[in-house]
Chains A and B, each alone.
Chain A
């Protein structure tokens, strides 16, 4: 049997000396979509940033394997080229760098010799069209003055063009009105397929009305405390996270 796309074993992660993830194990198989749900401060974004290799997040224990190979020793850029994609909750602005220039550079980095500059315009335009993005968007500066919806669509646009093997969608539903949410969800559904494993991180069940998960994990205080089918998400919507939180913490870490 071949190794799963992503395998996390007993992962412990600290930020500035404080342990946030306290022994997480989970697996992502190709072709499947996993929802990771949890309240603010449960460690959801810590997990996505750790998987992407943010220098602030220290792995103190455990393993992360991508297709059976150690991931922890790779720097962020190598992970990106290896096919991991993080759709950011708060994408940062890069003033003066156009979306088109950024996209072309990123595709060159991701695909190396396989990148065909002549095909770029066509691919770029059709990916924008599929997400209902106006062509004028190409000349705007990356995330600079974008609305919440534009930021999220821009993330999904990148995902469409960079063709990752593993996509981490960090609160991709947050800050969206219902129309924007539907467009983004359609984009995600459109990209689902046998070659892609998705870990969708969310606080709310709302997006799961549009995107059907194969499995739902519940993360509370740095540990996965329950896993189940999509009915688990509905249960959380009704009852909230309170039943799973043993003690209410006063200070929460997002």
Chain B
């Protein structure tokens, strides 16, 4: 079976990789300094505690080295002085697409966001560079007290609520990139779902980087009050540039007793984006937190969604898929920390590497001594498309309690000659057959998505596979 290397960027360029001319009302100087941080905070007219938090975080960022266990070959290429940390695309934020500046609106039109909103979403925020330029929420949800705003707006309108939770789940000092985000964060979503309110259809945020050498540092905080439920979806794309961009988000979820949060990511960054994201949830008694994490694109992704199970019977789940092509490293995984008894967790990680791409599963299951009767299962499946590609597993288990049920299973397989032969004997071309095998491999993830996203995911995989086999 012959394999030719292809430029997967070619398709991406047409669909997502375009860029608009840069027109900004404010563009901070390149590089990171106390002055830049104060400028950001000043422009946003933030309360003093936030300004202080940012400055503290900056100090931590500057002191902390890059994590020694990371893929330093790629990570150390980031030139933090050559990045724009804050770009304000427009002066106003709108809840009507018609009021969004034409070029930005056209971008989101091309990406299909307004259309998706009309068809199947309960609310949308759209972030362009550093700021949320559009947000909307269905009236009935607003009436029930649901809050869905850009993070900056959330801070302005609900300062007490934000102050209570912001940075408590992921403190600035957690890691170098959470410190960076805390120092220069801008945009992201703020969601509060009141007691007992079930948001039946998804809320979505879309993150778009347009400028070259841009850093996007959105900050998201979701609070699900007792007995409530919410499904949040985020999507991301960026233009194809020769130079690199940095995306470093922090996402904090608070699941209060008996609530249910599902957080879905379909990330499709161009292959010049460093994607270094910290995501963590705290799950109280009897709550459920699910991270569905689809990682396509980017140059290097480092992302390990976590659930801290602090209340009895809380449940955490991570289902993640990663697709890595030439020059890419998807270093993804999950963390489950069992603090309370009778908590349970499931991790399912599926990765595909192709054309010399690299995937890593890096995960942690930790059970504290008091957390008895814990159940946890971890499964990692890796599929290698060729001899050049690579997959590694770095699982860590720290089990300090008695009476726990822990399962771990890892498989690495290759697209089998016999599978291809079987499908091709039924008339499928080699590429169709390969795509079918790959889609099947990701099915466990896709079936959890709303139909429209499952279709989109299949289409993205098809684009990644196109022309990949001779």
The reply to whether A54 and B421 form a contact with Cβ atoms under 8 Å apart is: yes
Q: State A54–B419 Cα separation when bound (angstroms).
A: 11
Selected from B426, B433, B440, the residue in CB contact (under 8 A) with A141 is B440
Q: Bound complex: CA of A97 vs CA of B424, how far in Å?
A: 15
Do the beta carbons of B443 and A97 come within 8 Å of each other? yes
Q: Is A124 located at the chain interface by the 8 A CB criterion?
A: no
Name the contact of A81 in the complex, choosing from B419, B421, B427 (C-beta under 8 A): B427
B423 near A94 with CB under 8 A, answer yes
Verify B422–A94 contact, CB threshold 8 A: yes
Chain A 48-92 per-residue mask, 1 if CB under 8 angstroms from chain B, else 0: 000011111000000000000000000111011100011010011
Contact A95 B421 (CB under 8 A): no
- Given A88-B422, A91-B422, A92-B416, A77 contacting B428 (CB threshold 8 A): yes
Interface membership of B436, Cβ < 8 A:
yes
> Given the complex of chains A and B, what is the CA–CA distance between A93 and B437 in angstroms?
10
- A52 and B427 CA atoms in complex are apart in Å by 11
- Identify which of B417, B436, B440, B443 gathers the most chain A CB atoms within 10 Å of its CB: B440
Closest-CB distance, B75 to chain A (whole angstroms) = 33
Within the complex, what minimum Cβ distance (angstroms) separates A121 from chain B?
18
Cβ of B1 within 8 Å of any chain A Cβ, yes or no, is: yes
A56 touches B422 (CB 8 A): no
Which chain A positions have C-beta within 8 A of B416?
A: 92
Among A54, A76, A91, A105, residue most surrounded by chain B Cβ atoms (within 10 Å): A76
Least distance between B130 CB and chain A CB atoms (Å): 39
> Known interface pairs A55-B417, A76-B421, A88-B422. Does A106 touch B427 (Cβ–Cβ under 8 Å)?
yes
Tell me, yes or no, whether B441 is within 8 Å of chain A by CB: yes
Query: For chain B, which range describes its interface: under 10, 10 to 19, 20 to 34, or 35 or more residues?
Result: 20 to 34
Across-interface contacts of A91 in B (CB, < 8 A): 422
Which residues A88-122 have CB closer than 8 A to chain B? 88, 91-97, 102, 105-106, 109-110
- List the B side residues contacting A75 at CB < 8 Å: 424, 430
Q: Which of B419, B428, B441, B443 contacts A109 (CB 8 A)?
A: B428
A79 adjacent to B425 (CB under 8 Å): yes
Specify which chain B residues have a CB less than 8 angstroms from the CB of A102 in the assembled complex: 423, 426, 436
**Total A-B pairs in contact (CB under 8 Å)?**
79
B436 nearest in chain A by CB position:
A97
From residue A75, how far is it (CB to closest CB) to chain B in Å? 7
CB pair A96 B440 closer than 8 Å: yes
List residues of B (394-420) whose CB comes within 8 Å of A's CBs.
416-419
Complex interface residues of chain A between 176 and 234 (CB less than 8 A to chain B): none
CA distance A97 to B419 in the complex (A): 12
A interface residues, tally (CB under 8 Å) = 29
Chain B residues near A158 (CB-CB < 8 A): 426
Known: A77-B424, A162-B426. A92 touches B418 (CB 8 A): yes
Q: Which residues of A contact B424 (CB under 8 A)?
A: 75-77, 80
Task: Report B308 CB to chain A, min CB distance, Å.
Answer: 31
> Is B429 on the interface with A (CB-CB < 8 A)?
yes
Instruction: Closest A residue to B413 by CB, please name it.
Output: A95
Residue of B nearest to A93 (CB): B419
Q: Does B432 contact A (CB under 8 A)?
A: yes
- Chain A positions within 8 Å of B422 at CB level: 88, 91-92, 94
B175 contacts A by Cβ under 8 Å: no
Let me know if B462 is at the binding interface, CB within 8 A: no
| Minimum Cβ distance to chain B for residue A103 (Å) | 9
Q: Specify which chain A residues have a CB less than 8 angstroms from the CB of B440 in the assembled complex.
A: 94-97, 141
B442: Cβ under 8 A from any A Cβ? yes
Which of A1-56 touch B at CB < 8 Å?
A: 52-56
Check B107 for interface membership: any CB of A closer than 8 A: no
CB distance from A125 to the nearest CB of B (A): 19
- Interface membership of B439, Cβ < 8 A: yes
Q: Which of B417, B423, B427, B441 contacts A95 (CB 8 A)?
A: B441
Question: With A77-B430, A80-B425, A80-B426 given, is the CB distance from A94 to B419 under 8 Å?
Answer: yes
Which chain A residues (151-169) contact chain B, with CB distance < 8 Å? 158, 162
- Closest A-chain residue to B437, C-beta based? A94
**For A54, what are the chain B residues with a Cβ–Cβ distance below 8 Å?**
421
Residues of B within 8 A of A95 (CB): 440-441, 443
What residues of chain A lie closer than 8 Å to B50, measured between beta carbons?
none
Hey, which chain A residues are within 8 Å of B449, CB to CB?
Answer: none
Residue with the greatest number of chain A CB neighbours at <10 A, chosen from B422, B426, B436: B426
Residues of B within 8 A of A (CB): 1, 416-419, 421-430, 432-433, 436-437, 439-444
- Known contacts A91-B422, A105-B428, A109-B428; can you find 9 more A-B pairs with CB under 8 A? A56-B417, A88-B422, A94-B423, A95-B443, A96-B443, A97-B440, A105-B436, A106-B423, A106-B427
Q: Sorted from nearest, which 4 A-B pairs have the closest CB atoms? A: A96-B440, A96-B443, A109-B427, A80-B427
Residue positions of A touching B, CB distance < 8 A: 52-56, 75-77, 79-81, 85-86, 88, 91-97, 102, 105-106, 109-110, 141, 158, 162
- Identify 25 residue pairs between A and B in the complex whose beta-carbon atoms are under 8 Å apart, listed by A's number: A52-B421, A55-B421, A75-B430, A76-B424, A76-B425, A77-B425, A80-B425, A80-B428, A92-B416, A92-B419, A93-B419, A94-B436, A96-B441, A97-B437, A97-B443, A102-B423, A102-B426, A105-B428, A105-B432, A105-B436, A106-B426, A109-B426, A109-B428, A109-B432, A158-B426
